[in-house]
Structure 1
Amino acid sequence: MPEPTGVIHDIGYQRYAGPRLGRRQVFGALYGHGLRTAFGLGRSAKAKIFPWLIVAIVVVVAAGATAVRTQIGEVVLTYAQFADAMSWLVIFFVAVVAPELVSRDLRSGVLPLYFSRPLPRSDYPLAKLAALMTALWLLLGAPQLLMFVGAAFTTGKGWRGAWDELLDLLPGLLYAGLWAVVFASVGLLVASLTGKRAFAAGGVVAVFLMTTPIVGTLQVMPSNTVNELAFLASPSTLVQGIGGWALGDLLASPGGGSTALPIGGFGPLYAVAAVLLVAGSVALLLARYRKVASA
């Protein structure tokens, strides 16, 4: 019988003996990576062009509004009005970023690798959703902070003027948060339905823009009640309706007019509708990833 000729070489592989991070760290890593992805950080220069172009536009608008206020002494754009004015940019930001967050992973088939870790199926979409919400809030909130810094110390009222500005700023930041929550929930759900980024981006734009004509159609109906409820038909006007109801004078223009939508006494209904929209979108998003995980 021939002698065995095989040789076992010890090349130094050892068992991992370090700390094993758990669910919180995995969720945090997904969230941090998603937030960086939203702004193209750690990626190619091409991936940075669109998000930072949007950032540049909102910062320029905020700086322009602050400069005009400093020169003429009048508010040309309130903090809450800034969020409304930038809503169309938010739509395109979501249309580009949401597919980057989820569609790429769906198409490349790496989700089984994520779910082989100590990661519950719900944590993946929730981490991506939190990252998108944060990115949107920063997109709308950071320029408001720039407006605050420019206005707080140029009012000539000292710390009292800065305090009054802060009281105006805080509702504006909360309003920006409302935009972020609603748009991120709906946008990420739509993007998660396909692994093709172009289709996902088109779907997001369609949901936000193609619902607007429905609002216009309902607006010409002869019933005042239908007119006041018409803004429920689009996520954008739904958020603006809540803003007009909750913020009131903060959407008023210097000339005495207001940009608030005419929703009558249906403000609480709009708030309930927004809660149901977000809750339904999140529930469907979680169901979508349970289906992906079991496929």
Structure 2
Amino acid sequence: MSEPTGVIHDIGYQRYTGLRLGRRAVFGALYVHGVRTAFGLGRSAKAKIFPWLVVGIVLMVAGAVTAIGSQIGETLMTYAQFADSMSWLVIFFVAVAAPELVSRDLRSGVLPLYFSRPLPTADYPMAKLLALATALWMLLGAPQLVMFLGAAFTGNDMGAVWDELLDLVPGLLYAGLWAVVFASVGLLIASLTGKRAFAAGGIVAVFLMTTPIVGVLSILPAQAANQLAGIASPSTLVQGVGIWTMRDQVITDPDALGPDLGAFGPVYALVAALLVAACVALLLARYRKVAAR
């Protein structure tokens, strides 16, 4: 009877001896990857079509507005008005980007792998939320910079450039408000399902189907209901905050009074803050539930 024999093969497995970067590096990697994913970078050519089509449209509009304004010597659109006019494109951008950021991971079941590393449960959704908000801010902010550069090069002196810069800063802040509100609502909805089509449809439905509610409330006999109608939809809620904080930039036509907020301007700002806080709290609760499975 032959003795059993065995052979040990050295296939080169070694312990990792490199630098362990820790939580901050993991969060940063998730954030950077999220921003790239929102614009389709590092993915197939098909995935790049829609986000870069939207980018091309907003830049083309900004360039056209700047060129026409410089020819006629008038401001066709302020920075805040540009953000308002692009809100429909932002909705569809969120509907495509948010499911790519979170729904794909839910469907493929890779979240347990993320949470098996030294990554707190809250870091994953917060990195994704920050990435989506950054992508939306860039989507609205980059065209505003194009408008600023066009206005700056056609200015008569440095005083005109400084005045233009003072108009740009509130416009960028306003774009940031759009980005934070839309990212919070969109990512929360996308986190509820692993099917991207369902997530995209849900996001579009929430943003678009709340608009008729605003219309109904705005024609009620009660004046308070008319003035508070805008809080029923994320889009009009953001516009209400803009009208309250920078009315001269949101409504430049003296003959167009715009929505009457009455004394409820601070209410719009409070509701916007509460909406973002509620969405973030629900998003964190959602991922605590996912991590507990």
Q: Same fold (TM over 0.5)?
A: yes
Equivalence for 1:150 = 150
CA distance in 2, matches of 1:174, 1:294: 37
**Correspondence 1:27-106 to 2 at 5 A:** 27-106=27-106
Residue matched to 1:279:
277
Moved more, 47-56 or 257-266: 257-266
Q: Contact (CA 8 Å) 1:102, 1:191: kept in 2 or not? A: yes
What residue number does 2:226 align with?
227
Cα distance in 2 between the residues matched to 1:293 and 1:223: 47
Give the letter for the 1:275 counterpart. A
Secondary structure at the counterpart of residue 93 of structure 2: helix
Report the 3-state secondary structure (helix = DSSP H, G, I; strand = E; otherwise coil) of the residue aligned with 1:184: helix
- Aligned twin of 2:251: 252
So what's the TM-score if we normalise by structure 1? Answer: 0.97
Q: How far apart, in 2, do the equivalents of 1:190 and 1:70 lie?
A: 42
TM-score (structure 2 length as normaliser): 0.98
> Does the Cα contact within 8 Å between 1:212 and 1:233 map onto a contact in 2?
yes
- 8 Å Cα contact 1:80/1:175 also seen in 2: yes
Equivalent residue of 2:29, what SS? helix
What is the aligned partner in structure 2 of residue 164 from structure 1? Answer: 163
Question: Could you list the per-position Cα deviations for residues 205-231 of structure 1 after superposition, in whole angstroms to 9, with x for gaps in the alignment?
Answer: 011000001101101100111100011
Contact 1:218 1:230 in 2 (8 A): yes
Q: Take 1:178 and 1:163, find their aligned partners in 2: how far apart are those partners?
A: 23
- The 8 Å contact of residues 214 and 232 in structure 2, kept in 1 or not, is answered as yes
Q: Match of 2:12?
A: 12
Unaligned runs of 5+ residues in structure 1 are: none
Secondary structure (helix, strand or coil) at the match of 2:12 reads coil
Q: What CA distance in whole angstroms lies between the structure 1 residues aligned with 2:134 and 2:255? A: 32
Q: CA deviation at 1:261?
A: 2.6
1:64-91: per-residue Cα shift (whole Å, max 9, x none)?
1100111000000000000000000000
Q: Are the aligned partners of 1:190 and 1:204 in contact in 2 as well (CA < 8 Å)? A: yes
Q: 1:87 touches 1:236 (CA, 8 Å); kept in 2?
A: yes
Q: How many residues align?
A: 293
Q: Give the CA deviation at 1:260.
A: 4.4
Which amino acid in the other structure matches residue 91 of structure 2? Answer: I
1:194 aligns with 2:222: no
The equivalent residue for 2:215 is 216
Q: Unaligned stretches of 5+ in structure 2?
A: none
User: What is residue 24 of structure 1 aligned with on the other side?
Assistant: 24
8 A contact 1:129–1:188 mirrored in 2: yes
Deviation at 1:257, TM superposition (A): 3.8
CA distance in 2, matches of 1:258, 1:102: 42
Alignment partner, residue 203 of structure 1: 202
| 1:2 CA displacement | 4.3
- Within 2, Cα distance between the matches of 1:148 and 1:246? 21
State whether residues 79 and 144 of structure 1, in contact with CA within 8 Å, keep that contact through their aligned partners in structure 2: yes
Do 1:23 and 1:119's aligned partners in 2 also have CA atoms closer than 8 Å?
Answer: yes
Match of 2:113 in 1: 113
Q: What is the deviation of 1:20?
A: 1.1
Task: Please report how far the alpha carbon of residue 4 of structure 1 lies from its aligned counterpart in structure 2 after TM superposition.
Answer: 3.4
Quick one: which amino acid aligns to residue 216 of structure 1? Answer: G
In the TM superposition, what is the alpha-carbon distance from 1:9 to its structure 2 partner? 1.6
Q: Could you tell me which residue of structure 2 aligns to residue 176 of structure 1?
A: 175
Q: Deviations over 1:28-52 (max 9, x none)?
A: 0000100000000011000000000
Q: Is the 8 A contact 1:103 1:194 kept in 2?
A: yes
Partner residue in 1 for 2:287: 289
Name the CA distance, whole Å, in 1 between partners of 2:189 and 2:258.
28
**Residue of structure 2 equivalent to 1:141:** 141
* TM-superposed deviation, 1:251: 1.8
Give every structure 1 segment of 4 or more consecutive aligned residues whose post-TM-superposition deviation is greater than 3 Å.
Answer: 257-260
Q: Which moved more, 1:234-243 or 1:260-269?
A: 260-269
CA contact (8 A) 2:243 2:251 kept: no
